[in-house]
Structure 1
């Protein structure tokens, strides 16, 4: 073996040594997810693999199957210490507040009859075969039925029978988490009303394009 490949051989030796050290640390940790030795060994193995891959590419244009990026050891140590502090409860948290995300999205209903049919089909899929599904009689019931069928996800309202209008999403830091028992079932405003100590971090405005507007917008780009 010529000297021109000595550095590459040494890089591979470092990968092997780092892999053995990582395995030894994992065995010693016995499954602890916040073990400092395992994390350090992981960073060493990652960076050794990255260095070998780079040298192999430079010399021969070949690559390894390891898709890794270099990790800054100092930054890795700082992130580990922060995570470990949260896991064992000894770390200090500069933001003890609860984060509250609130969203409103409005829709236009082009056809009430069409929406009721879609919601009725969604309800029938949730009702046992030996039971009869009750008819849906209002737009509100129809939308609620679609949400229930979609496990509460707003994506369940992405149907042609509902045209999205402007929406709004806010992120706030609050002192106390939501207490559902503190509000009556018919109270739709209380749970969304900011408290005196709540701090609005920011808001995102939604301006969805309707199908004809999207065509116009695309035409302007050409």
Structure 2
């Protein structure tokens, strides 16, 4: 047996071994998404297949059905934080951790206070057992809070006919220190949103509500 044939046999055994290791990793992950072990086993199988395909081509001018390209193992390690300082599949250590802050403001017009209060009261009643009486919703501010709570804090809970959206803005910043709610009083409405001296504004998105032609005519007439 020539050295070239022995090299081919070894490469083929490597394909078989890595294929088995990949199958074992897939079984162990049991459907888990983005599993480190599955990805690393995939990289090893891919590269073993690529190496065998190249050797087969050089030796006999033949190819395998596997259309693969080599994957840099170092890049694969970085993908899962297993490179220098990354540990065994854990998050890579970063001497410069980054915190992003997203600040959003959206204004609304209340066409009918009574209608808004009724909608909020219905939302509050839905969260109270049938044998208990819900407290009345008092004021538009409390009504909006009730709708937000019913929607788990999502602003999409305010997409209701009882509120007309006005302009809004979203700002994304890189901040040095994450938000510490305990350092602000409950009545402090500006402190949690005020940028710090080392914060850097990345950009802002201006939101303009979509108006139908009829609504735009009414808006212009105001």
Query: Shorter-chain-normalised TM-score: which range?
Result: 0.5 to 0.7
Question: Are 2:139 and 1:138 equivalent residues in the alignment?
Answer: yes
Mapped to 2, the partners of 1:178 and 1:132 lie a distance apart of 37
Q: What is residue 189 of structure 2 aligned with on the other side?
A: 188
Report the CA distance shift for 1:17/1:97 in structure 2 as closer, same or farther (over 3 A). Answer: closer
Mapped to 2, the partners of 1:78 and 1:198 lie a distance apart of 28
Mapped to 2, the partners of 1:72 and 1:169 lie a distance apart of 42
Mapped to 2, the partners of 1:43 and 1:142 lie a distance apart of 54
> How far is the alpha carbon of 1:192 from its aligned partner?
0.5
Unaligned runs of 5+ in 1: 1-13, 49-68, 217-222
Question: Are 2:39 and 1:39 equivalent residues in the alignment?
Answer: yes
Question: Are 2:73 and 1:76 equivalent residues in the alignment?
Answer: no
Report the CA distance shift for 1:199/1:109 in structure 2 as closer, same or farther (over 3 A). Answer: same
Matches within 5 A, 1:1-222: 19-24=19-24, 34-35=36-37, 38-43=38-43, 73-74=71-72, 75-81=75-81, 85=86, 88=90, 91-93=92-94, 95-212=96-213
> How far is the alpha carbon of 1:175 from its aligned partner?
1.8
> How far is the alpha carbon of 1:174 from its aligned partner?
1.5
Whether the 8 Å contact between 2:46 and 2:70 is mirrored in structure 1 is no
Whether the 8 Å contact between 1:172 and 1:200 is mirrored in structure 2 is yes
> How far is the alpha carbon of 1:80 from its aligned partner?
2.9
Report the CA distance shift for 1:88/1:18 in structure 2 as closer, same or farther (over 3 A). Answer: closer
Whether the 8 Å contact between 1:106 and 1:166 is mirrored in structure 2 is yes
Mapped to 2, the partners of 1:186 and 1:134 lie a distance apart of 23
Matched residue SS, 1:156:
helix
- Please provide the CA RMSD for this pair: 3.7
Mapped to 1, the partners of 2:133 and 2:69 lie a distance apart of 60
If you compute each CA radius of gyration, which structure gives the higher value, 1 or 2? Answer: 2
Whether the 8 Å contact between 1:164 and 1:210 is mirrored in structure 2 is no
Which structure features the higher share of helix residues?
A: 1
Unaligned runs of 5+ in 2: 1-13, 50-66, 218-222
Aligned length: 179
Matched residue SS, 1:20:
helix
